[in-house]
Amino acid sequence: MAGLGGNARVLVFERMDPTDRSIEWLREKGLDLTLGKRMWDPGFQRYSEDQIIAAAKGYDAAMGASGAQFSRRVIESLPELRFISKFGMGYDSIDVAAATERGILVSNTPDDFNLLAVAEHTIASMLALKKQLLVWTPGFMRNGGWRGDVFARYLAGNTVGIIGLGRIGRAVAERLAGWRAEIIAYDPFVEDAPPNVSLVDLPSLLERSDIVTLHATPSAGNRHIIDRAALARMKPSALLINTGRASLVDYAALREVLATRRIGGAALDVYETEPPDPDDPLFRAENVLATPHSAAWTFETLESMGWHGARNLWAMISGEGAADVVNPEARSRR
């Protein structure tokens, strides 16, 4: 299929680059693009399976983020599809095994801007909870509040446990290096840790950590790695940070322990359903910092990922240059 060039029809079901310059670049290459939603428009909604099947019917390629699930049913309903260019590092919204069977190449964007943004957001979340920024707010001041019997805490001297020591987990560890925190990590696929990080088993990490932060790549093996049993091992004062994936946490169990103050608090950027239910009790909890899957939502990151995804798409379609293909074995199925 490489060499399609201007004969390729592409559905950009989500637009990532706020400048759209990467879109124009693809058009200049001769691709026939149909543009879908802009990710920064208000009222974000995901595509249902039926909607993405209807929208992508007859297209050679699709490009977008996680607003559509390319399940086996979707993939098998799109016989012309040969390329999926996914914005972002995670690709759990795509059934890669099904894509591979059909000879569909899938690419992602392991982008430095993305990991920097998520690592910074993770550190900011730790500090916001430690420094009581959920309590000491303009609203608190408008009501005459002044310090009171709530006390901030140091990050220095804390033990921070990182679950998942990939690129983002390591970026978090690197940024914590100057904060005089003890950094431990659990990752069954890593043998060598950075000099300032000690590898431990999961029970030890949960029991020792003052802050647990999640950066594991989602898989069937780590689904709900933070479940009731894991939460029960954590210190009553411990904080949980999830800027990774919702599937890593049993959110029903988390709601219970937060409501009963069994742990100190949580900072959450990802949810079981996105956008989440506005009436979720998590958003009324005084010990929860909630952000709208915005850890990587910086102008620089979106622009960079937009270009990265566009270049991946062109490389897969034309054969010119290299793409970050996650299933190269699909080439043999064509």
Q: Return the active site residues.
A: 245, 274, 293
CA 306 remoteness from chain centre? 16
Are 316 and 85 a contacting pair, CB within 8 Å?
yes
Q: Hey, what are 11's tokens?
A: 């559905």
Q: Token pair 């800027």 is at which residue? A: 243
Which residue in this structure is represented by tokens 């690709």?
Answer: 91
**In angstroms, how far apart are the furthest CA atoms of the chain?**
68
Query: Are the beta carbons of 23 and 12 closer than 8 angstroms?
Result: yes
> Which token pair is 203?
């029970």
Distance CA(102)–CA(316), nearest Å, equals 15
Burial (Cβ within 10 Å: 0-12, 13-18, ≥19) of residue 151 = exposed
Structure tokens at 133: 């920024």
Alpha-carbon gap, residue 38 to 23, rounded angstroms = 12
Q: What is the distance between the alpha carbons of residues 213 and 303, in angstroms, rounded to a whole number?
A: 27
Q: Which of 258, 256, 294 is nearest to 276 (CA)?
A: 294
Distance CA 162, CA 122 (A): 11
Distance CA 76, CA 3 (A): 24
SS3 212: strand
- Is residue 239 within 8 Å of 266, Cβ to Cβ? yes
